[in-house]
Structure 1
Amino acid sequence: MKIEQLHTLFLRFPVICTDTRTITENCLFFALKGDNFDGNSYAYEALEKGASHAIVDDKNLENTETVILVDNVLETLQQLAKYHRQHCNAKIIGLTGSNGKTTTKELITEVLSQKYNTIATKGNFNNHIGVPLTLLSIKPDTEVAIVEMGANHLREIDFLCQMAMPDYGYITNFGKAHLEGFGSEEGVIKAKTELYDYLLANKKFVFFNADDPIQVSKLTTTTNKLGFSNQHHNYLFIKFLGADPYVSLKFKEVQIKSQLVGSYNFTNCSAAVLMGDYFNVPITAIKSALENYTPRNNRSQILEKNNFKIILDAYNANPSSMKAALENFHELKADRKIAILGDMFELGTSAEKEHQEIADLARKMNFEEVILIGENFYKTKTEFPKYASFNALAKKAEKIATAEATILIKGSRGMALERLVDLF
């Protein structure tokens, strides 16, 4: 079946499912393969549960009216998404960066939704499967689509751009993330700026942080851009008012107090303000959107439990975000501060060095206590209490904190440090 024909079918049945546990009536089931599963094995089950058609690539399956045999299911999904994107009217904002992508995406969505019919990537489903699924969620009445793009190797962002063809783009920052795949910080910068490369080559529009010298240096050849700054009035000036603990800022004499912890969230809020202003969202609506947004999914959440105030930032971590979290925690006003840090993943050969540097940084902060969890932190040379795993710490839970304290919990997703909350 040609992509044009498949797209006609998709318009009749405009819901995509890739998991038989979430089948909905009259959806299209795409039989994707994974490391430990083959969606082809579930094609008939999907049809029995209500899928209108199953798209498969197992040559042993018969090509019928409801079973559509293609050469490669994943590539077909991506081609369908690109074709759909070419035939939709929505403006697409591409978003990438080392830290803060998902929070920034949610903030931008909240702001633009004040005026436009807006959709965005769900969760952090931002890879070669998530991006096509986001594009295929664009409806005829969708006006703006915010497409988050993640990568851990070079050329991935470029590949996603060729599919999504964004009209606008923004990079949150460049940090020490996925060093295992990128090799170095220079590799990170090269990979992330593939978004800007695409936009400039196709004469599209760039949003940027004018206080980030790397971003500024990459955009010297275009005037098709708009930047925000906390330092220079020749850009869209957004003043940082503080973060103790919540980020507050001022724009056009209007003060905005968010519910986000950490000064590092200032640029995330500023990006949303920048785009809201560009798309003519009233400043009162921008203020309302940012002030009503509440963090979730273990991202910069503040929890109160017994005598503890817990800053839960356990969604993900890399050396850059860990450093920012510690510095912000250091500036926070509190009598007793305890930092509980979990391993940072995907650092490759840099893992030992990066974990030691974070342990050394934490030592300089003079917190009441620092607790390290994970195989990499366990190898560091430090006097802090160290545990090779969460379970090792859980066995000695009564030693974590016994008096009133403000506690930072920060670690990579694989550490699942949100489990600590139940130990207090």
Structure 2
Amino acid sequence: MIQSLTTHQISGLVDGEVISQSGQGLVAWISIDSRNILEPSKTLFVALKGAKFDGHDFIKSVHEEGVRSFLIQKGSTVLDNLTTDSTFIVVDNLHEALQKLAAYERSLFSGPLVGITGSNGKTIVKEWLGQVLGQKYAVAKSPKSYNSQVGVPLSVFGIEQNHQVAIMEAGISKPREMMKLEAILKPEIGIFTNIGTAHEEGFESQNQKLAEKAILFENSKLIIYRKEHSKIHDLLTSKYDSNRLISWSDTAGADYTLSIKKESDRSKILLMKPDLSVFTFSVPFADQASLENIRHVIVASLSLGLDEALIQEGLNHLKAVEMRLTLKPGINDCLIIDDTYNNDLAGLRLALDFMAAQRPKRRKVIVLSDMLQVGNTEIVYTEVGELLNFHQIDFFIGVGEKIKLVTNSYQGKSVFFPNTEALISHISQEDFENDLILVTGARKFGFEAVVNRLQQRIHGTTLEINLNALTHNYNFYKTQILPNTKVMVMVKAFAYGGGAAEIANHLQQLRADYLAVAYTDEGVALREEGIRLPIMVLNPVQESFIHLEKFDLEPVVYSPDFFRQLGKFCQNRNISMKVHLDMDTGMHRLGFEQEHVQELISMIKSYPQLIIESIYTHLVGADEEIHRDFSLAQLRSFVEMCDTISGTLDYKPMRHALNSAGIIQFPEYQMDMVRLGIGLYGVEVSGKFETHLKPISTLKTTISQIKSIPQGQTIGYSRKGKMDEDGKIATIALGYADGYDRRFSNGKGFVLIDGKKAPVIGNVCMDMTMINITGIEANEGDEVIIYGPGISLKELSERIGTIPYELLTNISSRVKRVYYLD
């Protein structure tokens, strides 16, 4: 919240009646969920009634946690014993009261607020725009898809005083909803993404839905939209003054012209502004849906004052957002378009356009489920059939109860199944060969199973993970420790680039004792993937306390303030939590120092809810002999601190200090547990047992093209590469966007082709790298080893002055991980 409020102020804002009042504490948090109240004394609990739960049923429990301010529905019964120390504000309509509070908080925000509505792309546009604007501004965004009558107010409460720009989604499912959201948001800048059939059953017509969505922009100074969306264009131009509208288009005639030149997996966007100045953007997308979304982002960024160079910088660093359209290799030389989370006409149109842009195959096949929440089904399915005819779909596979209505207009071959299970039971590999297959449908149909059935082992640029090699390395380190010494395995940073869930699952089978992750969300993701091992979280934050409890994660506690925050949280919720104490013996990063020990002991007594599961420290230089004396001094100091703390407890926490190098260098200090990290992944940094480990990962790609280049010609950007003699170069499908470090340019790096070294020539590009293959027999499509057996990560890292950790963790998420047992 931008401003804390007294309960008296809140009562006035929501036209409420105070039926009991105790104290005048400030409210800084608004909560509708009894499970995630972090500061009870500063929280107003709004007892909303939902489809499954009534918030009034949780008043007693949140009162026990320390909440003393409540917003309740008129007519609700309040327990007499709660009124003596709490404030209850009664209103006629809780949803409206929540929205009034949000509208007030919004009125305090002086920066521009961007409101986004439409049928598709709202969340992606919001995320990408936030990432680009983040180059210049502190940005507040709606969390996830919080765009409803409740989600929007909660999003507004997330705006803080430091934010300079806010970006909020607004979605509706029936008339008169948007006017309520507009009254809250009042966006200065609006973005209308597109119009489709989602939630159409709540409206008399698509035109009504369009008009309702446009209400969001009643008070907007600027409204951004794509001119090709004719219905949107017609409505906005008839409703709003032209000086408030900013249109963009592929072709001339709009305020901004943003034409596209597609490459293999990238695109260039040529911008022409109203003053006829031009700029070319480069974006890592080639599908139509992404290109539409990113152009909304570009125009909005320009409207908010970002220059083109800064926008491009933001585009270069876009974090991955889960996309709906994915192209995957399939069985029998098929290609699969995975669109398994799409379920409306606008999305289907985009998917079919994407399909049309792919290379020709023997047949065009589509697997489509019933469309949900689309209004008049007969009209919708007739249009679906017409779309299939237009795109010349050869074979249609329908799943669901109503999908057969497509045959009223579709003229091709079709087959229907009542559910996904029936379809999968009839799929045979012999049914598909050299086909282009689009799989699209509602989430409830679980079409991921269809994609998995049709998908083939991924080729191209891949990171292959050998789970047998991982087992070998794990067992090697087990031989270096005593039988009773436990092993904690570090799976932070996506398991050093290898893929956390899959590796964690394998470690679970190997009976590892503990896992460690960097952040709480990494631990949550592992729990959601079925990982049951104890998980230590190295860098927890206060906002994640509720998730630590919910997912049984064990946080590291590293400072007196953090200890008290977590202790109060557990005390207020009347729960206990296992924690791990980080002792700073020389790293000087995080951790309790010697001077904190007595204060720490006092806090442990004050907050018995925090169970000290372990005490640990980080060694600064265990992998280097030059730091041996310092490491020993660290270990002696650590033992002393542990003894002091443990001596005050009636139980004995585990102690651990050794990392992968420490296991080898200081076996006498293995204590109760060791922490295995880089060694598990095949890198023995001390150098003593390097030959005992196996590399678990192989990064490989393929040759895209081979060229014969005469002596004296230059290669690549800035003409950095030069042919010293007549020879051949090969371009491989890997660049710095994949995590191949640009410092490998100009001969610093090399790759293996058929066991022979081929040096990098010229600069490493974003998606491609050129290598000198003079004297090497090679063909286009041949496999290229970037690192793995024959090229050690240690050697590569030394060539560019870094460490193996960086090379491992830099591999981009767009590089597909393949797991196998050899």
Match of 2:747 in 1: none
- In structure 1, what is the equivalent of residue 126 of structure 2? 105
What is the root-mean-square deviation in Å for CA atoms of aligned residues? 3.2
Where 1:119 maps in the other structure, the secondary structure is strand
Conserved? CA contact 1:30–1:56, under 8 Å: yes
1:40 partnered with 2:66? no
1:243 CA displacement:
7.5
Mapped pair 1:276 → 2:301:
yes
Match of 2:223 among 201, 206, 226: 206
* Residue deviations 1:109-140 (CA, integer Å, cap 9, x gap): 12211111112122222110011011110000
Structure 2 residue aligned with 1:317, among 316, 336, 343? 343
Q: Does 1:353 align with 2:379?
A: yes
Alpha-carbon separation, structure 1, partners of 2:417 and 2:330: 23
Q: Determine helix, strand or coil for the equivalent of 2:261.
A: strand
State which structure, 1 or 2, has the greater radius of gyration over its C-alpha atoms: 2
Q: Measure how far apart 1:379 and its partner are.
A: 4.4
- Counterparts of 2:230 and 2:280 in 1: how far apart (Å)? 27
State the partner residue of 1:263.
Answer: 288
Structure 1 residue ranges without an equivalent (≥5): none
Partner amino acid, structure 2, of 1:423 = R
> 1:292, 1:417 → 2: CA distance?
31
Letter in 1 for 2:202: G
Helix, strand or coil: the match of 1:391? helix
Cα drift, residue 42 of structure 1: 1.6
- Identify the match of residue 390 of structure 1 among 410, 420, 435: 420
Aligned in 2, Cα 1:41/1:234: closer, same or farther, shift over 3 Å? Answer: closer
**1:395-414 matched pairs, under 5 angstroms:** 395-398=425-428, 406-414=436-444
Cα 1:233/1:385, change in 2 over 3 Å: same
TM-score scaled by structure 1? 0.85
**Pick aligned residue for 1:375 from 401, 407, 428:** 401
Partner of 1:155: 176
Matches of 1:50 and 1:12, distance apart in 2: 14
Question: How big is the shift at 1:192?
Answer: 2.0
> Is the 2:68–2:86 contact (alpha carbons within 8 Å) kept by the matching residues of 1?
yes
Superposed counterparts of 1:9-408, under 5 Å: 12-26=26-40, 27-49=43-65, 51=67, 53-57=69-73, 59-62=76-79, 64=83, 65-66=85-86, 68-71=88-91, 72-196=93-217, 198-199=218-219, 204-217=221-234, 218-219=236-237, 221-232=241-252, 235-242=255-262, 248-251=268-271, 252-259=278-285, 262-293=287-318, 296-297=321-322, 299-302=324-327, 310-335=336-361, 337-348=364-375, 350-367=376-393, 369-381=395-407, 383-398=413-428, 406-408=436-438
Q: Is the 8 A contact 2:404 2:416 kept in 1?
A: yes
CA distance in 1, matches of 2:443, 2:87: 37
- Once the two structures are superposed, what CA deviation does each residue of 1:127-183 show, in whole Å capped at 9, x if it has no partner? 100110111100001111111111122222222101112111121122333221122
Q: 1:76 to 1:134 in 2, by over 3 A?
A: same
Counterpart Cα distance in 2 of 1:385 and 1:24: 54
Q: The residue matched to 1:194 in structure 2 has which SS?
A: helix
State the secondary structure of the residue aligned to 1:145: strand
Instruction: Tell me the amino acid that sits aligned with residue 77 of structure 1.
Output: L
Larger displacement relative to structure 2 (265-274 or 309-318): 309-318
Aligned-partner SS, 1:106: helix
Which structure has more RCO (C-alpha within 8 Å, separation ≥ 6)? 1
Asked if the contact 2:130/2:141 (under 8 Å) is kept, the reply is yes
Aligned residues: 417
- Scaled by the length of structure 2, the TM-score of the pair is 0.46
- Cα deviation for residue 268 of structure 1 reads 1.6
Instruction: Tell me which amino acid in the other structure corresponds to 2:219.
Output: L
Does the 8 Å CA contact 2:337/2:355 hold for their aligned counterparts?
no
Task: Call closer, same or farther: CA 1:73–1:401 in 2, change over 3 Å.
Answer: farther
Q: C-alpha displacement at 1:59, in angstroms?
A: 2.1
Partners of 1:233 and 1:314 lie apart in 2 by 36
Structure 2 Cα separation of the partners of residues 11 and 395 of structure 1: 62
Give the distance between the partners of 1:398 and 1:101, measured in 2 at CA. Answer: 38
- Tell whether the 8 Å contact from 1:111 to 1:290 is kept in structure 2 after alignment: yes
2:32 and 2:377 mapped to 1: Cα distance? 35
- Displacement, 1:357? 3.0
Distance verdict in 2 for CA 1:292–1:183, change over 3 Å: farther
Conservation of the 8 A alpha-carbon contact between 1:301 and 1:313: yes
Q: Deviations over 1:242-300 (max 9, x none)?
A: 376655422333232233x5324333211110111122223233224334435544523
| Distance (whole Å) between structure 2 residues aligned to residue 56 and residue 80 of structure 1 | 14
Task: Check whether the contact 2:155–2:168 (CA below 8 A) recurs between aligned residues.
Answer: yes
Q: 1:287 to 1:18 in 2, by over 3 A?
A: same
Secondary structure, in 3 states, of the residue corresponding to 2:282?
strand
Q: Give me the identity figure in percent.
A: 24
